[in-house]
Every structure is written in C-alpha cells, then in structure tokens.
Amino acid sequence: MSKRPFTIFGQDQQSTEIAFSWLLKLRWGAVLCELVLIAAVTLFYDIELPAPLILIIIAFQGISNFFFQFRKLRGHTVRPGLLAFIMAWDVLLLTLLLYFTGGPMNPFTFLYLVHVALGALIMAQVWAWGLTLLTVAGYALLFFIPPPHALGGGLTAGQSLPYCNFLGADLHLQGMWVAYSVTTLFIVFFLGRLRAALGEQQQTLLHLDEEKRRSEKMASLATLAAGAAHEFSTPLSTIAVAAAEMEDQLREQNGPSEILADASLIRAEVRKCRDILRQLAADAGEHLGENYVEIPLLSLLDQLRYSFTAETGHRVRLETTADDPVLFLPVQTWIKTLKGLLKNSADADPEGEIVCRAARTDDRLQITVSDRGCGMSPEILKRAGEPFFTTKGLGKGLGLGLFLARTLAERFGGRLRLESSPGSGTSVTFETSIDKITGLQEL
C-alpha cells in the first residue's frame, strides 16, 4: 500500500479545505481581539498609540479575510501554497503591529509562537520551516529598525512606548529572542516527527480496516458458496442418479449410442458442477483443508503450464531468473489461482503468446503474467481486483480471479500488482514472501 504524507489536517484537497476554513475563523478572532486590546490600552493606560496606522494594519487583515472568504464561497480551489501565503502575510502584519507598539518591548511578541505552531500543524514541513525562519527574522528586525518617533514621526505621546535596539538591549531581551528562536525550532521539529508517527499509525489503521473489509467480503463469499453447494446438492444428486439409471438401462437394452453418449455427458457435467461448487468454496474459504506439500518452483510452474494448456489449448512461455527453491504451500490452490491470471491474459489476447516470468530477490518471489492484449484504461485498472467486477460478457466470469489472487498473495506476506495501459497489454505480478512459502508456516 502506498503511503502518503500526513498532517493533522492531511494533505488531500478535502483536508486543505477544512484547514482553510478554520484559518479564516481564527483570523476573524484575531481581528476582534486586536480591536479589544487596543481599546483596553487606550482606556486604561496612559499610552497614546498610533491608532490610525494600527487600524489601517488591522483593516488590511480584515479586508484580506473578506477576500479569501469570498473566494471560498465562489468555490475556488484552495492550494497548500495559499495557506502558506496567508500565514506569512499574518506574520508580516503582526510584525508591523509590534513595531508601532513598542517593538521587542511589547509583551505580545509571544504571538509569533501561535503562528509557528499553527503553521506546523496545517502546512507541509518545508512551508512550516519557512514560516519559522520568517518569524525569527521578523522578531530580530524589531531590535534593529529604529522606532517611529526616532524617525521623526512623533507617533507616540503621553507615556512614550519604550524601545531599544538589540545591542543596547539588556540581557533579558536578548535572551527572549534567543529563547524564542530555539523554541520555534524545537516546535517545528518535534511536531514534524509527531506528524510522521501519526501518519504511520493512520496507514496501519487504514491497512487493518482494508483487511477487515476484505475478510468480510471473503466471509460473504464463503457463505454464498456454502449456500449454493447446499441448495444445488440435492438437484444435482437427483440428476446424477437419473442419468446413471438411464445409462444402465440403455446399456442393458442396447439403446441408441447417441442417447447413451448424452447420458454419459450428463453425468460428466454433473461431476463438473460439483467440482466447481467445491472449488468456489475452497477459493472463498480455507481451501478445503488442502495439505501443504514441498514442491520445487520449476515443478510448480511446469504443472501450471501443463494444466492450463491441457484445459485451454493456449501455449504459455515460461521465463525464470530465479533459482529452483523448494516451496512449501498448498499446490492446487496456487495452480488454480495462477491459472486464473493466465486465463485473463488468454481472454485479453486469444491469438497472442502469454509469458509467465518468475524472479526472486532476497526475500520476495515474483510470478508475473504478461500479455499483449488491448490493455485496461485507468478507470478499469483502478477497479480491477474488486470482487464481482468484470469486463467480460455475461456468463464468462464472476470477477473474482484478481480478488482471490490478491487475497492469496497477501496471506503469504505479499501483494498483487497490476500494470496496464490501453493498447500495450497487461502485466500482473503475484508477489509473496520467501519466508512464508519455504518454511513450515500455514495460512
């Protein structure tokens, strides 16, 4: 199963939309808190703030939020880069607010940490590190850019807002900036590690959920097969008995050979029906308790080719780059499953040659069946392997071959991989763990 990056909100489009909605709500809350804070400072403290400039900065934040809210209502797609832009824009506005209200002496410089923590949660790692460096730089600029009144602006009156540059600041203020820089690095680093751990846990839960659903489907198939075997057993037995009696009477009375042949054919077809029902129950259940036996890999492939050619008349070319390990597995189950893959290739390319390749790595065995048929479109390839999904005509297949092959591969510690495109044929790789098929393990 392929793994995708994980954050608290995720990386897919739906998660990005959720993060964007909550970010807009948070920005409205920030605007409200800033207005309340300015009013409180003006009313209860003998400090005259540069209210026009501060209100202009807050207005920019509010207008931008209206703009992004309008885009959201219009259904515009939210890209991850847009979240990064909004967060960076808010850091710049916060830096301006702090600059006009005391610079590094302003106790609300801690709000930089809010932006860093939020960015680490809702943005990709590279964006989070970029935002962190931006806040560190913004905090540092407060020490080095002269205050507004030093530039002749006369923006503060009454009790002037204190200000000092970095070199002139006391050790406490310098330590505040250093402590902030170190803290942000720890926050981004450890939140990133936490997100990675949560991502692995999420993938494990998804895998277990998928296994549960497949087990439920297999249980449904087993129930269906058992029910079908039970319901069909009586009429099939009746047909078999009647055909046998008919055949015996025809032999005793020297009846027409054509009718005798038909009676024999009926009995043969009844036996096939019983075998099909038993095999369906085996595929959907526990393989009817088939014993595990030792068999060399090349012998298994030879039996597969002989059995398939005898049933269909279609030739198979075997290629192997593997050695000849002795496998320990339920042979007939494997042959039946791999014959299903060969039959799919024969149906896709009736006149072409089917190639069956076996290769071995240190811990994996791969058996690949390839054809040069019409291939599959991306839509069909995405659904291939779902139970009861088939592109064959009515009565030509139940759509269980790939599903059962994938189930068997996973039971032996492997997987089933499909590669196909229209006009270029299809390759199906049945991959298992060597440890699972060369020891004395059972399913």
Cβ 33 vs Cβ 58: under 8 Å: no
pLDDT at position 366: 92
Cβ 364 vs Cβ 418: under 8 Å: no
Whether pLDDT at 394 is above 70 = no
pLDDT at position 211: 72
Distance CA 2, CA 301 (A): 30
pLDDT at position 218: 64
Cβ 55 vs Cβ 49: under 8 Å: no
Per DSSP, the residues of 375-399 read ---HHHHHHTTSTT---SPTTS--S
pLDDT band of 404, cuts 50, 70, 90: confident
User: Over the Cα atoms of the chain, what is R_g?
Assistant: 36
Whether pLDDT at 410 is above 90 = no
Q: 371-395: string of b/e by CB count within 10 Å (b at 16+)?
A: bbbebbeeeebeebbebeebeeeee
Mean predicted confidence (pLDDT) in 101-114? 84
pLDDT at position 431: 93
Cβ 436 vs Cβ 410: under 8 Å: no
Mean predicted confidence (pLDDT) in 373-377? 85
Cβ 326 vs Cβ 295: under 8 Å: yes
pLDDT band of 246, cuts 50, 70, 90: confident
Distance CA 309, CA 314 (A): 5
Closest CA to 309 of 264, 341, 339, 281: 339
Instruction: Classify 399 in phi/psi space as left (phi over 0), alpha (psi -120 to 50) or beta.
Output: left
Highest mean pLDDT among 52-66, 210-224, 286-300: 52-66
Strand partners, 354: 316
The sign one gets for the Cα dihedral 359, 361, 362, 365 is: negative
Cα angle, residue 13 at apex, residues 11 and 14 outer, rounded to 5°? 100
pLDDT band of 226, cuts 50, 70, 90: low
Q: What does the DSSP 8-state code read for residue 254?
A: T
Whether pLDDT at 26 is above 60 = yes
Range in 170-174, 334-338, 382-386 the model is least confident about:
170-174
Cβ 236 vs Cβ 273: under 8 Å: yes
pLDDT band of 340, cuts 50, 70, 90: confident
Share of residues in the chain with pLDDT > 90 (%): 10
Cβ 431 vs Cβ 414: under 8 Å: yes
Q: What is the pLDDT of residues 256-291, one digit of tens each?
A: 888 888 888 888 888 888 777 766 655 554 444 568
pLDDT at position 156: 43
pLDDT at position 256: 83
Distance CA 35, CA 55 (A): 8
Closest CA to 19 of 67, 92, 80: 80
Query: How many CB atoms lie under 10 A from the CB of residue 300?
Result: 19
Q: Which residue has the higher pLDDT, 163 or 278?
A: 278
Mean predicted confidence (pLDDT) in 193-212? 80
What is the pTM for the complete model shown? 0.49
What is the CATH architecture of 291-438? Answer: 2-Layer Sandwich (3.30)
Q: Map out the domains of the chain as residue ranges.
A: 13-169, 212-287, 291-438
pLDDT at position 358: 92
Mean pLDDT (the chain, rounded): 79
The tokens for 107 are 């106790």
Cβ 351 vs Cβ 399: under 8 Å: no
Angle separating helix axes 51-73 and 13-44, nearest 10 degrees: 160
pLDDT band of 166, cuts 50, 70, 90: very low
Whether pLDDT at 9 is above 50 = no
Q: What is the pLDDT of residues 176-186, one digit of tens each?
A: 888 888 988 88
Q: What is the pLDDT of residues 40-49, one digit of tens each?
A: 887 887 777 7
pLDDT at position 161: 46
443 three-class SS:
coil
Closest CA to 240 of 273, 206, 267: 267
Share of residues in the chain with pLDDT > 70 (%): 80
pLDDT at position 153: 42
pLDDT band of 110, cuts 50, 70, 90: confident
Beta strands in 309-443 (DSSP E): 316-320, 326-329, 354-360, 364-371, 415-420, 426-433
Mean predicted confidence (pLDDT) in 285-310? 81
The tokens for 417 are 């991989």
